[in-house]
């Protein structure tokens, strides 16, 4: 079993699995593991160019989903809204912030139950940082998109997407001591996705295009704006990923979508 991994360690081993066409699951803490989705077989790759919310924006992104993986635990595939509901009464927001900053959950010295949940949070942050962003192997996200006028979006990092819901729900839970109340504070953004064909968390935004803005009730919860030191986790690996993209070739899903465009 792989033990004691911070954000950089995990990204390194995920890339290695794809470089070596190795589908061996990446075992983490307890029964949590990552399942590499090789050769553009993951949902991020298969759905990257589908629908009005993605097709117009990904024509110049020929490798979307190349590093995709599935997060698996004893209940099957993990889901953001349900994870927040589970962590609210158990985790300390300070530990989540440490994981956001790249810490290894096992080195925080918490109970087994807390460590499992912190590892799941880490994997969710990783999924945002690997699959979403401004690069040609990532899907478009408002968090870190430098063409957006609102600096809370343009100066953000991809993991701010999940973190802002954690911050807001934990703030509500602190005052109400009610999981139901805390979840109700974010539930309006838990909506059906045309692409995913299920309920997902959607960005807390108003407006469209360059003038999209973080909603007023979320502006204090963009954690990168609070710390002013957050960096995209993927940055140190960009040269290596570019080499992987060249050797793997263009996504077949990109080719099918745009070949007649």
192 domain-assigned: yes
96 domain-assigned: yes
261 domain-assigned: no
1 domain-assigned: no
- Res. 166 pLDDT band, cuts 50 70 90: very high
260 domain-assigned: no
pLDDT in tens, 213-255: 999 999 999 999 999 899 999 999 999 999 999 999 999 999 9
2 domain-assigned: no
Output the pLDDT for position 31: 85
Judged by phi (left if over 0) then psi (alpha if -120 to 50, else beta), residue 242 lies in alpha
Output the pLDDT for position 1: 47
Q: Could you give the number of structural domains in the chain?
A: 1
pLDDT in tens, 29-69: 888 899 999 999 999 999 999 877 788 889 999 999 999 99
How buried is 86 (Cβ within 10 angstroms: 0-12 exposed, 13-18 middle, 19+ buried)?
A: middle
Q: Cα–chain-centroid distance for residue 1?
A: 23
pLDDT in tens, 110-160: 999 999 999 999 999 999 999 999 999 999 999 999 999 999 999 999 999
The residue segments making up the domain with residue 72 are 7-254
């Amino acid at each position: 079993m792989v033990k004691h991994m911070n954000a950089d360690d995990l990204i390194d081993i995920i890339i290695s699995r794809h470089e070596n066409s190795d589908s061996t699951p990446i075992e983490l803490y307890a029964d949590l593991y990552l399942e590499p989705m090789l050769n553009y077989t993951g949902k991020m790759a298969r759905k990257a160019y589908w629908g009005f919310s993605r097709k117009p924006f990904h024509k110049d992104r020929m490798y979307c989903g190349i590093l995709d993986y599935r997060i698996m635990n004893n209940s099957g595939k993990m889901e953001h809204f349900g994870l927040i509901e589970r962590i609210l009464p158990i985790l300390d927001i300070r530990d989540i912030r440490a994981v956001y900053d790249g810490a290894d959950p096992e080195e925080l010295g918490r109970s087994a139950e807390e460590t499992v949940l912190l590892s799941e949070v880490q994997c969710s942050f990783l999924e945002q940082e690997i699959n979403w962003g401004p690069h040609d192997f990532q899907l478009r996200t408002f968090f870190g998109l430098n063409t957006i006028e609102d600096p809370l979006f343009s100066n953000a990092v991809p993991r701010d997407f999940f973190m802002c819901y954690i911050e807001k729900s934990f703030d509500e839970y602190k005052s109400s001591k009610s999981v139901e109340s805390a979840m109700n504070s974010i539930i309006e953004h838990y909506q059906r996705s045309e692409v995913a064909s299920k309920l997902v968390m959607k960005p807390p935004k108003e407006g469209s295009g360059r003038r999209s803005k973080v909603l007023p009730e979320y502006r204090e919860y963009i954690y990168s704006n609070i710390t002013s030191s957050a960096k995209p986790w993927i940055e140190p690996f960009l040269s290596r990923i570019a080499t992987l993209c060249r050797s793997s070739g263009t996504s077949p899903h990109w080719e099918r979508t745009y070949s007649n465009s």
